[in-house]
Structure 1
Amino acid sequence: MKSIRFFQSIQAKLIIIYVLLILIAMQLIGVYFIQTLEGSLKKDFIDNRNAQALLLAQYAEGYLLESQNQEAGKASDREPKRTYADLNQVVNSLFASGQAEIQVIDANGVVLTTSHEDNQSVVGSKNTQTEVTRALQGIKDNQRMFTDLDGARKLVIAKPIGSGAKIYGAVYIIASMEEVYNTMNRITRFFISGTLIALGLTAVLGVILSATITNPIKALTKQATAVADGRFDEKVRIMGQDELGQLGQTFNFMMERLQEALTMNEEEKEKLASILSNMNDGLVASDDQGRVIVINRRAKQILKVNEDTTLGMPLAELLGITPDIVRQLEASEDHSTTLQFVHEEEDPLFVRVTYTTLHSKGRGAAGTIAVLQDVTGQEKLEQIRREFVANVSHELRTPLTTIKSYLEALEDGALDEPQLAGKFVNVAHNETERMIRLVNDLLQLSRLDSRQVMITKELTDVTDMLEEVADRFSFQLEQRNIAITIQVEPDVRSIMLDRDRIEQVLDNLISNSIKYTPEGGHIHIHAGCPERERLEVSVSDDGIGIPRKDLNRIFERFYRVDKARSRAMGGTGLGLSIAREIVKAHGGAIQLDSELGQGTKVTFTLPYLQEEAAG
């Protein structure tokens, strides 16, 4: 942190300015110097190679002329004075360089000699380079720089051999320029080293010079920090009568006046700050014009606003109500109301708002304070209670109404018709069984909620349990022509659990899959251990699926996606709720993933005990 504060100080900025000035100057000088030197070295290198090529062309002209005369029959019968072997020896001894390859080429483009010992295979072959072709046409200026496949930068020069209109051949030179660039790199490194030394000296000098300016400023900063912490017993030391000295005197005077003002307001400010910071409820204060002047952290969380855009806004607009309603609440005895806020991608928020009018001596009403209390949990609990009572009443009323109507029919004479009476009695019996199942489910949920259900765990083989559950539904699966597969991963171990309870969970899940999977569908049961300490079991199908809007409520009691169809299939709407409570009683978790028309997958996880994990 100290290093960060240093780089944000004036001293650091002055040093940086000094260093940057030197750096920019050195860079400008260096760029100009290096570019000039690079151009000079390249020019000297190219001129030297051109001169070498011209000299060799003049020297080789005699060899080529004599050779052409002999071929034309103009030479004498004696041995020729100069041969290509002599020319090769001259090229290798006088003109060859370790950084260049020199070739002498006749008028037909055939290589007569080369200075590169590893490239003697080209002798006698034809050189088709563009520069050679241009040189054999009498064009003298043929040079090109390129980068080879190995990354080496090279220069190509081709000069025609022949002083007149007739061209006897060409001199072809491929010279490496790496030595030139290496020289430039060495010079650049020397220049960078010198620049770094100059920058270091500049930084040291900048530290010394900037301290004379920054030390008085640091003293002022230190004293300002002390004043911010409430310490007024020290004063800034005046080091001179310059601008910084005058600033110090003005600061001391300002500190005295500030101490007087803070003493008057400190007590009330501390009280207000303590109240606002420690409130669990939201608080919004407005002035006598009804505009927001204070809003605490909790109120911003409830209303999903920020302080910058809220201050100055009308209180009624902030709460989403009309000013008339605000005035009515202020004048009423209760002074409170419940508002509902709906934020994007969140459940509705119920907030109880209580208004209190602020009064000021001689001015009457000076503003309003609105206290916001989040009562969403209470509202949801009350709503769930109402829905639960309504659902239970509805679920019981339907079979009771059916039983009553059939009993009345029996009483009215249907009892005398055995066939019809038997049918009515059978319906009454089925409805009674339905009520019994509903009451049993409710009792089981009640026991699970109150933790009265004993979970008796035993070591259970997961594969045997899954196969046994699947066998119980074999008849229903065969009737619906639904295939079922079981997949147990090799790393799945036996686990301690209440087998009857977990089988009940699996029964509910598979039963739901059978109900909502069309004929010819498929159900897949999978067991694995994505983590060594947890068993994961999933039941998936390719049935009708569940709409996305219903996924958040699918585990609620009596909640049905399609109420009419669910009742027709005999469900009580409590199966998934019971499954969730059983899994939670085992210390696990359950979740459901589904897409409409694509199928549903329910996954629950159960923890292995420490003894099992150790085993």
Structure 2
Amino acid sequence: MSGRRFFRTIQVKLVIIYLLLILVAMQLIGVYFISTVKASLTDNFTTNLKEQADILSKLAAKELSEKPNSDSETDTNSTEDLSLVVRNLFSISGTEVQVLDGNGRVVATSLQVPESYIGKKNTSLAVSRALTGISDNEEEIIDENGIRKKVIALPVTYNDNDKVVGAVYMVASMDNLYDTVNRVNQIFFSGTIIALGLTGILGILLAHTITSPIQGLTRQAAAVADGKFDLQVPVLGDDEIGRLSLAFNDMTIRLKEALSVNEEENEKLASILSNMSDGVIAADENGKVIVWNRRSQEMLDVRTCEGCNLPDLLGMPEQKFQELQMGREQTVILSRGDDEDAGSDDAEGVLRVTFTPIHRRDKGITGTIAVLQDVTEQEKLEQSRRQFVANVSHELRTPLTTIKSYAEALNDGALDERELSERFVGVIRNETERMIRLVTDLLHLSRLDSNQAPLRRRKTNVHEMLDEVADRFSFQLRQKSIRAAIVVDRDLKSAWLDRDQIDQVLDNLISNAIKYTLESGSIELSAHKQDTATIAISVKDTGIGIPKKDLSRIFDRFYRVDKARSRNMGGTGLGLSIAREIVKAHGGTVSLKSELNVGTTVTFTLPALQGEGETA
């Protein structure tokens, strides 16, 4: 794999391209040059042979033209002279030369042993063509020893009448010529090898000058991909690669700035999402959650939203989600609660979810942003307001109806009967007093809610305060034979509090304890230090208790466990609410424990302060 990758590098490719170009060029030049040299040598060789044959034909023309008319002695002498000339001229070059008469018989030869050839007839095609007067007779042959030879045959004519009187036959070896060509080939091959070697070295150097900046760019690109923007690519020239390096450095700087801005914006967005009081969830076009904040997890009570489907996460039907996603509806109210505590109002949560589709140019809707707002408290306040209005209306309507009925009865004649009229007037007076108490409690609650009931703290003896409360209700206690006990820690002497308002709290608690405690029961008032800065005061009775399902709402305004009996006992349903608001104004808390048919214990805590807030 590494070898294959090496051959794919630009440097190797450039070197190979250079080598191939040089090789192809050298081959083309070599083919042309060697073929030209070979043709030139062959032409020179052939021309030289023809010139020699032409000279020899002129020398032999006279002797061959006189041969038929001469005697035998003269013929013999002329033949020997011609053979001597031939041997002297062509013995050095190694060319075989034959002089033939008109019948094709060998008259003279350049061979050292002429006896075997003299007088024999040469039957070659070239000789036959030459004897017929054809001058262009040449060919290349390869003998039995594998030697390439050149064959030339020229006719010998006499000048008087151009009669062919014989022929000159020459066979010359071409080994020297081809040896020369082979040496030229070897020289050219060696030159090609040397040229390729030098080209390879130069190609490597040249390719390195090109690939080295590219490698630098590659390393810088890898560093940029890893988030390293401080390195710069060296600019080695003003060529294309140099301008590319400048552009890359400029791009790196701009990319760094863009990423810094992007990171800053992302951090701002993440900070905004993390600190929003509303939950934010973003989903893609398929409803898969891609972005969310911590508040949305808290609202939906999930560990993570990663990979979740938004409709499943919000607990809504898919069709409803699609309608919201398409923008047909924008807001939906979701109620979430624990199944185990479905009957408890505190366990329920109300979320207002606002959907906003994400639009992208040329792609339509590509996602949805859901903003979650916890409107549980708002809904509770709204419900409390509606219930408060209904309760006030009901509480006022009942005595008003009673007063109206008895007033009409008096008007219709009951006023004339003294006993009956006195009873009717008593009922009207009681109902009026009940309305006055209700309005007084409402005004007190209103002042507490609007912080218009300032605390007048003063140093108060706790034991003395509890004794006075028990004395105020001694008549009611004796009427029902209820035993009252007061228990105060020895180290608890006094506390800084608003005596009048705490007396009202204790009066409400003792009054309720007496109302709902059967005859011969008991009530215990106790006070102790909860810690160095807090005291706890408790009212414990052995009354009928409160059902468990009503404990969570016992401090709500106008809430009664047994509405009919409470109303008959003269209660307005606001006593515990007023007590809670007074204790909260002091900076304390109220808690209630009760068991049906066993008893109830109400405990409230107060800070033990001195003066402007020093610990008692």
Into which bin does the TM-score normalised by the smaller protein fall? 0.5 to 0.7
Amino acid at match of 1:539: V
2:549 maps to 1:549: yes
Q: Deviations over 1:410-439 (max 9, x none)?
A: 222222222222211111111100000000
% same residue = 56
Equivalent position of 1:207 in the other structure: none
Equivalent position of 2:388 in the other structure: 388
Equivalent position of 2:421 in the other structure: 421
Deviation at residue 273 of structure 1 after TM alignment: 5.4
Equivalent position of 2:269 in the other structure: 275
* Conserved? CA contact 1:532–1:613, under 8 Å: no
C-alpha distance in structure 1 between counterparts of 2:495 and 2:352, whole Å = 49
Equivalent position of 1:312 in the other structure: 307
TM-score by length of 1: 0.55
**3-state DSSP of counterpart to 1:487:** strand
Equivalent position of 2:107 in the other structure: none
Map of 1:277-296 to 2, 5 A cutoff? 277-279=271-273, 280=276, 281-296=278-293
C-alpha distance in structure 1 between counterparts of 2:350 and 2:472, whole Å = 47
**3-state DSSP of counterpart to 1:519:** coil
* Gapped regions of structure 1 (runs ≥ 5): 1-225, 236-256
* Conserved? CA contact 1:525–1:540, under 8 Å: yes
Equivalent position of 1:302 in the other structure: 299
**3-state DSSP of counterpart to 1:387:** helix
Classify 1:584/1:371 alpha carbon distance in 2 versus 1 (closer, same or farther; 3 Å).
Answer: closer
Q: How many residues matched?
A: 369
Deviation at residue 463 of structure 1 after TM alignment: 1.9
Amino acid at match of 1:278: I
Deviation at residue 490 of structure 1 after TM alignment: 0.9
Classify 1:610/1:457 alpha carbon distance in 2 versus 1 (closer, same or farther; 3 Å).
Answer: closer
C-alpha distance in structure 2 between counterparts of 1:469 and 1:323, whole Å = 63
C-alpha distance in structure 1 between counterparts of 2:529 and 2:446, whole Å = 32
Question: Higher mean Cα deviation, 331-340 or 516-525?
Answer: 331-340
Amino acid at match of 2:289: V
C-alpha distance in structure 1 between counterparts of 2:491 and 2:374, whole Å = 48
Deviation at residue 232 of structure 1 after TM alignment: 4.2
Classify 1:575/1:263 alpha carbon distance in 2 versus 1 (closer, same or farther; 3 Å).
Answer: same
Classify 1:228/1:461 alpha carbon distance in 2 versus 1 (closer, same or farther; 3 Å).
Answer: farther
Deviation at residue 514 of structure 1 after TM alignment: 0.8
Equivalent position of 1:457 in the other structure: 457
Deviation at residue 450 of structure 1 after TM alignment: 2.0
Amino acid at match of 2:269: I
**3-state DSSP of counterpart to 1:300:** helix
**3-state DSSP of counterpart to 2:590:** strand
Deviation at residue 601 of structure 1 after TM alignment: 0.9
Amino acid at match of 1:521: G
Amino acid at match of 2:331: S
Deviation at residue 360 of structure 1 after TM alignment: 2.8
Deviation at residue 526 of structure 1 after TM alignment: 0.7
Deviation at residue 382 of structure 1 after TM alignment: 1.4
**3-state DSSP of counterpart to 1:530:** strand
* Conserved? CA contact 1:284–1:370, under 8 Å: yes
**3-state DSSP of counterpart to 1:294:** strand
* Gapped regions of structure 2 (runs ≥ 5): 1-222, 233-250
Which has the higher Rg, Structure 1 or Structure 2? 2
2:419 maps to 1:412: no
Equivalent position of 2:605 in the other structure: 605
Q: Deviations over 1:121-159 (max 9, x none)?
A: xxxxxxxxxxxxxxxxxxxxxxxxxxxxxxxxxxxxxxx
Classify 1:234/1:536 alpha carbon distance in 2 versus 1 (closer, same or farther; 3 Å).
Answer: same
**3-state DSSP of counterpart to 2:370:** strand
Map of 1:126-525 to 2, 5 A cutoff? 230-233=227-230, 271-272=265-266, 274-279=268-273, 280=276, 281-307=278-304, 310-331=305-326, 335-343=330-338, 347-525=347-525
C-alpha distance in structure 1 between counterparts of 2:518 and 2:347, whole Å = 34
**3-state DSSP of counterpart to 1:587:** coil
C-alpha distance in structure 2 between counterparts of 1:502 and 1:454, whole Å = 13
Classify 1:445/1:262 alpha carbon distance in 2 versus 1 (closer, same or farther; 3 Å).
Answer: same
**3-state DSSP of counterpart to 1:565:** helix
Map of 1:4-15 to 2, 5 A cutoff? none
C-alpha distance in structure 1 between counterparts of 2:286 and 2:605, whole Å = 58
Q: Deviations over 1:369-398 (max 9, x none)?
A: 111122222222212211111111111111
C-alpha distance in structure 2 between counterparts of 1:528 and 1:228, whole Å = 69
**3-state DSSP of counterpart to 1:517:** coil
C-alpha distance in structure 1 between counterparts of 2:522 and 2:588, whole Å = 27
Amino acid at match of 2:491: D
Classify 1:465/1:296 alpha carbon distance in 2 versus 1 (closer, same or farther; 3 Å).
Answer: closer
Amino acid at match of 1:336: T
C-alpha distance in structure 1 between counterparts of 2:570 and 2:354, whole Å = 48
* Conserved? CA contact 2:555–2:576, under 8 Å: yes
C-alpha distance in structure 1 between counterparts of 2:226 and 2:538, whole Å = 61
**3-state DSSP of counterpart to 2:451:** coil
Deviation at residue 323 of structure 1 after TM alignment: 2.1
Deviation at residue 537 of structure 1 after TM alignment: 1.3
* Conserved? CA contact 1:501–1:582, under 8 Å: yes
Amino acid at match of 2:515: K
C-alpha distance in structure 2 between counterparts of 1:427 and 1:274, whole Å = 69
Equivalent position of 1:583 in the other structure: 583
Deviation at residue 561 of structure 1 after TM alignment: 1.9
Amino acid at match of 1:425: V
C-alpha distance in structure 1 between counterparts of 2:610 and 2:414, whole Å = 64
RMSD, aligned CA:
3.1
C-alpha distance in structure 1 between counterparts of 2:296 and 2:376, whole Å = 15
* Conserved? CA contact 1:276–1:283, under 8 Å: no
Deviation at residue 363 of structure 1 after TM alignment: 2.7
Q: Deviations over 1:61-91 (max 9, x none)?
A: xxxxxxxxxxxxxxxxxxxxxxxxxxxxxxx
Classify 1:434/1:229 alpha carbon distance in 2 versus 1 (closer, same or farther; 3 Å).
Answer: farther
